Chains A and B, each alone.
Chain A
C-alpha cells in the first residue's frame, strides 16, 4: 500500500479565498504530480516535479501554483478560488531507478467553490 496522503479530503469554500491543498509522501519518491479529475473524465496533469526545487506545468493549463521545497511535500495553491476550480485534485508520486514504476496516488481532495 502506497504512503501518500492528501488533505483536506473535502473542501467547500467561497469565491476569492486562497486555498492550499496538501500532499505528502513517505516513500522518498523524487517525482510527484498533480492531476485534475472531473466526473466521468480522464485525469489531466496540471503540475509535476522531478525533485526538490523542480516544478513544471502539465498538459492542462491551471491557475494553480506548486512548490517543492522538501522531497516529501508537494502543496498546490490557488491564490483566488473561483467556481471553475471546482474539481477533484489527485496527487501522485513515483520512484526512480527501476523502469516502469507505477504512480502511487493519494485519495484526492474534492474541492467545491461556491
Chain B
C-alpha cells in the first residue's frame, strides 16, 4: 500500500533554532517528492520538489534531502522565524505531478516560539 508517513506529528522550537522534519514513503513507482508549507487557514504552498536523481535542494532557509534507496526525505529549517510556524506536508507522486497520483502525508505542525 502506497503511504507517506511524517514525523514528528508536532514540534515546538525557539526562534533562531534549527529543526529537521522527516518523511518516509512507500510509494512506488516513485516520480518526485514535494514539500509544502501550509499556514493556518491557508492553502498549501510548494517549497521544494525533488526527483529521483536529486538528493539535496535548498530554498532559502529550507533544505530538503532525499534518499531514494531508503525512501526517506527530510526538510531542514535553519535559523527559524516566527513565520515558519505552519504545517509542513510531504507529498509523493508516482508518475509525475501532471499525470500521476499524489500521496499526502498528514503533516508536521511546527510552532516557533519567541
Known interface pairs A94-B98, A99-B96, A100-B51; A43-B104 also in contact (CB < 8 Å): yes
Cα distance, A101 to B31, chains bound together (Å)? 12
Residue A105 is within 8 A (CB to CB) of chain B in the complex: yes
| B41 adjacent to A107 (CB under 8 Å) | yes
Cα distance, A65 to B10, chains bound together (Å)? 34
Residue A92 is within 8 A (CB to CB) of chain B in the complex: yes
Q: Which of A41, A59, A102, A106 contacts B97 (CB 8 A)?
A: A102
Chain A residues numbered 39-80 whose CB sits less than 8 Å from any CB in chain B:
40-45, 59
Residue A90 is within 8 A (CB to CB) of chain B in the complex: yes
Known interface pairs A90-B43, A107-B41; A102-B34 also in contact (CB < 8 Å): yes
* Top 3 A-B residue pairs of the complex, sorted by shortest distance between their CB atoms: A105-B43, A102-B46, A42-B104
Show the binding face of B for A, using Cβ within 8 Å.
4, 9, 31-32, 34, 41-46, 49, 51, 89, 93, 96-98, 101-102, 104-107, 109
